[in-house]
A = this chain, B = another copy of it.
């Protein structure tokens, strides 16, 4: 697999404009979104679907869960920032949440 390239600031802005509810993290090159569900069961059920997707993409989220809330942060460790992989995963995650 070729190593993904970091997005330019222009490409980042363009990608963000196509995503729903994601924003840049202040302290590092990453994007984040908060998802709120009805309860833990629904939140974790959704996490499981995202986990299957992430494993298939071999690109994994950094995430935290407190009861019915899930905070997802995406970045590409190998590239030291945002790549097309993050945008692709964000899109897939949005599709599962809608």
Contacts and interface: CB of A to CB of B under 8 A. Distances in A.
A62 B60 contact: no
Contact of A60 (B47, B51, B67): B67
A67 B59 CA distance: 9
Interface string A28-64: 0000000000001100100110010011000010111
A54 B41 CA distance: 10
Interface residues of A, number: 15
A64 B63 CA distance: 5
Contacts of A12: none
A95 B40 CA distance: 22
Given A48-B48, A62-B66, 12 more contacts: A40-B51, A40-B54, A40-B55, A40-B60, A44-B51, A44-B55, A62-B64, A62-B65, A62-B67, A63-B64, A63-B65, A64-B65
Interface of A: 40-41, 44, 47-48, 51, 54-55, 60, 62-67
